[in-house]
Amino acid sequence: MKVVLFCGGLGTRLREHSDTIPKPLVNIGYRPIIWHLMRYYAHFGHKDFILCLGYRGDLVREYFLKYRAEMSCNFTMSNSGKTIQLLDDDGIDDWSITFVETGMHSNLGQRLMRAQHLVRGEEMFLANYSDGLSDLPLDKYIAQVKDKNAIASLLAVRPSQSFHAVRADEDGCVTDLEEVSGSDFWINAGFFCLRQDIFDYMRDGEELVLEPFRRLIAQRQLFALKYSGFWAAMDTFKDKITLDRMEARGDCPWMVWKR
């Protein structure tokens, strides 16, 4: 399947880390998060990528145009640097990557509409926010989606943030406090699987997960897989530090290709 990656957001909550680097290029260890995500999809055989660019798309293009595996892989150098032998397989050699400009301030729906011609003819295709990682068994997820025969599906996870849900009566008296991460509250984590029919439910200017998804809900055509395994998003600088520390100690559940 083709994989559509939304890479054009401003990433304002990560500006503490950098005012110029787009979120997909923020590193986890030595590699940007988008590389980790693409390697995840490639592990399951999905190596045809469409990058929907926007904010600082030039840097995304430059990263791949000037890609050098030896900058993040172990290697042996000989012959005064003229010969380099990689000791690791970075897995990128057989990837196909299409870069498409989708607008600086476009929402996800607009970005997907501008990439529609690139997925035409595909019965199903995958899509992702490009800021979250998971150890989701993707092949099993896709099999469930096909079995449900839904037009669109998303991954639902419990929020990882440490805040509490508050319940109160009409007088304001608190009746319950509960950690959201331990409640039966689920959020959209992305990891979409979409059929061609999704475009019949979209209109110009609409956000993908608002109006189009509501139309699908009305017809019982939106499926959510509740997943309790590993998932983490890089929304803030704190999230980046957490993922960096996990990578440094080798605790990387999303690296399914290393199992």
Which tens digits make up the pLDDT trace of 135-166? 999 999 999 999 988 999 999 998 876 667 78
Task: Quick: pLDDT tens for 217-254.
Answer: 999 999 999 999 999 998 888 899 999 999 999 999 99
DSSP 3-state of 81: helix
Alpha carbon 152 to its chain centroid, in Å, reads 16
Residue (of 158, 122, 124, 120) closest to 141 by Cα position: 124
Is residue 11 pLDDT above 60, yes or no?
A: no
198, 146 Cβ separation under 8 angstroms = no
pTM recorded for the entire structure: 0.87
Q: What structural domains and CATH numbers belong to the chain?
A: 2-75+91-157+186-258 (3.90.550.10)
Give residue-wise pLDDT tens across range 48-84.
Answer: 999 999 888 899 999 999 877 666 657 687 776 667 6
pLDDT at 175: 81
Give phi and psi for 134, each to the nearest 5. -155, 165
39 and 258 in contact (C-beta within 8 Å)? no
Phi-psi map region of 220: left, alpha, beta (phi>0 left; psi -120 to 50 alpha): left
In whole numbers, what is the pLDDT of the chain averaged over residues? 87
Q: Which residue has the tokens 């607008």?
A: 103
Query: Does residue 43 carry a pLDDT above 70?
Result: yes
The pLDDT confidence band at residue 216, using thresholds 50, 70 and 90, is very high
Strand, coil or helix: 174: strand
